Each structure stands twice: as C-alpha cells, then as structure tokens.
Structure 1
Amino acid sequence: MLTYPDIDPVAIELGPVAIHWYGLMYLVGFLGGWLLGRWRAQRADSPIRPAQMEDMLVYVAIGVIAGGRIGYIIFYDPGILARDPLAIVRVWEGGMSFHGGFLGVLAALWLYGRRIGAGFFRLTDFAAPLIPIGLGAGRLGNFINGELWGKTSDLPWAMVYPPMGPEPRHPSQLYEFALEGVVLFAALWLFSSRPRPTMAVSGLFLVLYGGFRFLVEFVRLPDEHLGYLAFDWLTMGQLLSAPMIALGVVLLALAYRVPKPDGAQT
C-alpha cells in the first residue's frame, strides 16, 4: 500500500499570483506538441511546414480550452449555466472534458486546414501522435490536484489519499498517464514512423484512446453528481468513448480498403 505524497497543487507563488501545476501541465503539453510537431513537419509526407506549427498550435490551443470547457458543461454539468452563466469562462476553477476538448481540436484542425488548403484527415493524421503528450501531462496534473481517484483496492500499488478516507484506492490518474500518455504516444509514433494510408493514424488513435479510457473507467470513481448512467457500471466517460472506438474502426477499415488513386498517400 502506498500513500499519496501530498503535493502542493501550487507550483510557484509570485505575490498574489499563484501558478498551479495543472496549468503548467497544459504548457508542457502544448510545448511538447509544438517541438515534436516541428520535427515531424520536416517529413516529405507532412501536410504542413515546420514554420506553420506556430499557427496550428494557436488554433489547437483555442480548440482545447474552448471545447474542453464547453464539453464539460454539456456532458457533465448542463445546469451550471442556469445557476451561474459566467462559470463558462472561469476555466481556472476546473471542469474540463477531454471529449469536448477533442471535438474542439477537430474543429480547429478543420478551420486551419481550410485556411492553408490541407485535407482534414491529413492534418488529423499529422496531429494524432502529438496529442498523447498533452494527455499524459494532463493526467499528471490530475494526480497532483488529488482528483479523479479510483475505487478502493487491495493491490500493492493502491494508494491512500487522506481527504477521501483511509482506504487505499486505484491511482487511476496514473493508469491513464501510462496508457493515454506513454503507451498511446509510443504506439502512434511507431505506427506513423512510416507512411500510412490517410485516416489510418487517426483511426488508430480513436481505437486506442477510446479503449484505454473505457477500461480505466471500470476502476475509476464515476463523477459524483452523475454516478453510473446504467447497469451500475456505465459512466459518462465510457458513453463518450464508445463512439470513438466505433469511428476508429470505421476509419481504419476505410483507410485499408478504399483503393487510392495514383500519387495518393500510401
């Protein structure tokens, strides 16, 4: 049994200004994605040039933050706007949805693709291996904040988080860091290290992320105000991840079954 190390969620205090670890994790995700994106953009099959990564990052950052906040309100707390309309802009108080942020990124890539004349799925294939950097950093931020804990467990690595009682629990944030961050990054980076059919990298991202998230939800506590949606086990995270898996399978099937015209990406 392990004990939570009681990490201060505030990384730096400069007078009245407090910089939280969670905010720094967003910075790590964006900076890491930008650096690897510039390196990846040097490939002959890249839909963008290295110098365009800055512009794409701005679009993606807006999509992540706006989509994540709006998605949280729609999926997890739709009544909050009636109680407090300004809550939608107070992102520093917490309440971000991956699935909402993901939809925001897709919208951002579509808009950016229209601006530069690049195909939507070529851009999503390019961006997919970069996303796990932010996912992994975000899960470390969840762990530092002491949120999104798992169910009670007697496994050797179960962890006691004192604010939730003396029972050891699954450190589900670390499970997600390992799966959504490390494993997902390694799988996508290796898979995309050679040219693949358009939509294949995007499809693999959807299948793997959706599958990892669906599995971890079995040992993660459901959102307190939502509970289980059905069957005493179905969570909102699983409900939102299931379509990702299905869509990923469809994209992979289309990528490898639809004949490509001469000169198309293979």
Structure 2
Amino acid sequence: MSYTAGAVLATIPSPPRGVWELGPVPIRAYALFIILGIVIAILWGERRWVARGGERGLITDVAVFAIPFGLVGGRLYHVATDWQRYFGEGNDPVDALRIWDGGLGIWGAIALGAVGAWLACRRHGVPLPAVADATAPGIVLAQGIGRLGNYFNQELYGRETDLPWGLEIYERVHPDDPARPAGADGVAVDTTPIAVVHPTFLYELLWCFAVAALVVWADRRFRLGHGRAFALYVAGYTAGRFWIELLRIDEAWRPILDVRINVWTAAAVFLGAVAYLVLARSRGPREEPHVLAPAAATGSSSAGRGDQRSDQPDQSDQASGSDESPPGDQGKVQGGQ
C-alpha cells in the first residue's frame, strides 16, 4: 500500500538509516542506545543502592558480571524463538552471532543476567533481591531507551494504522548491493512511506518510563524490599508487553493458537511476578543497611568497640550512615532515589 504526502502530514517519520560510517568503523544507533541505557541503569542503581545503606561501587561490580550474561541470554532467547531467521532455508546460521544487527530478547537477558548478578552478590555477601530492588527502575528505563535503537533500525513495528501518530516505513536497500537484504545496514532510497504503522517502539518506550515512575513511587510509599520492587517492575512491564506484542506484525514463532511466543511469555512471567509480590510480603520490611554492606558494617563495628566504654553510644552507627536515626527512619528520607 502506498501513501500520498498529504495523507501522512501528521505521522512520525522513520530515520533514513540506522548505521553511519566513520571511516572504516560503523556507528550503530542500536548499540549506542543499548550502551546509553546500561550506563544510566548503573548510575541510577548505584544512587539507589547507596541511599538504602549499601556500599558505593557494588552495583558497578555486579554489572560487570550481569551485563555479559544478559547479552548472551538475550541473544540466545532471540535466536531460539526466531530460529527460522537464521536456520531456515536460504539463511546463514552465522548471522545468529551478529548481535550488532539487533535482536535481544529481554526475557533471556533478565534470566541469564540474574545468574551473573547472583554470582556477583555471592562474591560480595549481599542479597540478590536487595540489589534487584535497587536496580529495578533503572533497568526498565534502560529498556525504554533501547527501543530507540529499533526505531533507527526500522524494525519491530505494528500493523498499519491511520492514527495521527503512525510511523512511516520507508523502503531500504543495502548500501553496497541493492540485491542483498537491507537488514540493519539498510538505507532509505526514498522518504515516501510505503506504509504507516503503529509505532510499537514508542508505545513500549513510554510504557517503560511509566513503569519506572511507578516503581519509584511505590518504593517510596511502601518501602519495598526483598525483591518486591523488582517484582513490581516485572509485573508492570509484562502487562504492557502483552498488549504491545499483539500489535506487532514482524515474523515470530507462534507455538499455540497462532499467538506470538512473547505474548505467552509475558502472561506467564506476569503471573509469576504477581505471585512473588504477594508471597514476599511475609518476609517483612525492607532489608536493614547492615545487610546491604556487611563488610563495612563489620569493620566499623569492630574498630569502634575496642576504644568505647559500655555506657557510650556505638559510633559504628554513624559510620554506617545512620545519622543517629533508626534504619527505618533513614530509609524514609533516602529510600526512593
């Protein structure tokens, strides 16, 4: 279907390309937004972790483990659920390794990334659920930022629409050989749209930002702990992903009732997250600061008690950042960064 210029004056134009050549080095929008999201998630996670009473630098150390695991997990999920793109007739299986062309499944990224985070948490002696709570809003914000990479790659959009915020889709060709599939390297040959579709990248971006705000608000209001802030993020994200997936038209595995695999996955993960939210309430209030920084708490306590009389206040409370306030009161001020 083709569109005249007058029919699309109110629509969203697509970028003509998603890759730029800087000499021999390709600069890929997809990679840039993934990296930007990761950096923001780490910085925000560090701030929230310290506000809860944890040691500065811990989130960065965890990220060193979690990010490589997450990238591998995300790619494995994508390849497993879209195997026909790489192993079907006429396709090159080596393309499954070309992660820079796009294709990361958030479900696999979170699952295997959690394994890397767990290994790092064991190494530092801190609870994984507390780390997950501190990083939850940053992670979902990073997911939203990453969707801008799909916008530049002109991929993962929805079915056609006449809504004023429809996304224009252009014909793209490979810059070196028009006969080759364009892929992420494609360049628009004409900015006259060949279709106007639902901008599902934008829907998910806005939904992710809203979920990040929800998690921050709920964390401040209810002092969530023991993984409940992370579970709220997962429940909120999957609720949105469920209906956004129903709009998408890109090729995907449909194992049951001709419904996309990510719809089933979102539903199952949503139910699991809601169940965890309910069950984790029995674990009590948020973790105390000494649980989040065990090494620092132990060191300051042992150093302080040697020179103190029994009738003097323990200075280790001040060293651990309590500011002469009970951990619960301190969290009311700091807990919602």
* Interval containing the TM-score (normalised by the shorter chain): 0.7 to 0.9
- Percent identity for Structure 1 against Structure 2: 27
Sort the Cα spacing of 1:259 and 1:21 in 2 relative to 1 into closer, same or farther, 3 A. closer
Q: Which residue is 1:193 aligned to?
A: 220
Determine whether 1:249 maps to 2:274. Answer: yes
Indicate if the aligned counterparts of 2:14 and 2:168 stay in contact, CA closer than 8 A: no
Secondary structure, aligned partner of 2:251? coil
Equivalent of residue 210 in structure 2, options 180, 183, 191: 183
CA distance in 2, matches of 1:263, 1:58: 24
Q: 1:6 aligns with which of 5, 15, 24?
A: 15
Deviation at 1:100, TM superposition (A): 1.1
Tell me the distance in 2 between the aligned counterparts of 1:123 and 1:210. 20
1:75-94 mapped onto 2 (5 Å cutoff) = 75-77=81-83, 80=86, 86-94=94-102
Asked if the contact 1:37–1:50 (Cα under 8 Å) also holds between the matched residues in 2, the reply is no
Partner residue, 1:20:
28
Deviation at 1:230, TM superposition (A): 3.6
Structure 2: unaligned runs, 5 residues or longer: 1-7, 173-192, 290-327, 329-337
Mapping of residues 76-225 of structure 1, within 5 Å = 76-77=82-83, 80=86, 86-163=94-171, 166-180=194-208, 182-193=209-220, 195-221=223-249, 223-224=250-251
Amino acid at match of 1:186: A
- Alpha-carbon contact 1:122-1:199 (below 8 Å) kept: yes
Question: What amino acid maps onto 1:214 in structure 2?
Answer: F
**With structure 1 as the length reference, what TM-score do the two structures score?**
0.86
The 3-state SS of whatever aligns with 1:43 is: helix
Query: Is the deviation greater in 61-70 or in 138-147?
Result: 61-70
State the shift of 1:79 in Å: 8.2
* Other-structure match for 1:260: 284
Taking structure 2 as the reference length, the TM-score comes to 0.69
The correspondence of residues 224-243 of structure 1 with structure 2, limited to 5 A, is: 224=251, 226=253, 228-232=254-258, 234-243=259-268
Larger relative contact order (CA 8 Å, sep ≥ 6):
2
- Report deviation, 1:19: 1.1
Distance across 2 between alignment mates of 1:28 and 1:262: 30
Cα distance, 1:255 vs. partner?
Answer: 2.0
* 1:3 and 1:161 in contact (8 A); partners too: no
Residue 39 to residue 216, structure 1, CA distance change in 2 (3 Å): same
Aligned counterparts of 2:70 and 2:80: Cα–Cα separation in 1: 15
Q: CA offsets, 1:113-164, max 9 Å, x none? A: 1111112212221221110222011111101110001011122212221239
Q: Which structure 1 residue ranges, 5 or more long, are not aligned?
A: none
The count of corresponding residues between Structure 1 and Structure 2 is 258
Query: Which moves more between the two structures, 97-106 or 85-94?
Result: 85-94
Amino acid in structure 2 at the alignment position of 1:183: A
Distance 1:151 1:187, change over 3 A: same
Q: Which whole-Å CA distance do the structure 2 matches of 1:98 and 1:192 have between them?
A: 23
Larger radius of gyration: 2
Deviation at 1:94, TM superposition (A): 2.6
Matches within 5 A, 1:21-60: 21-46=29-54, 49-60=55-66
Instruction: Write out per-residue CA displacement over residues 172-216 of structure 1, whole angstroms, 9 at most, x where no aligned residue.
Output: 111011102x11111112222352231211221111011010011
Quick check: 124-133 or 83-92, which moved more? 83-92
Partners of 1:30 and 1:123 in 2: how far apart?
16
Amino acid of the residue matched to residue 65 of structure 1? L
Mapped to 2, the partners of 1:58 and 1:50 lie a distance apart of: 15
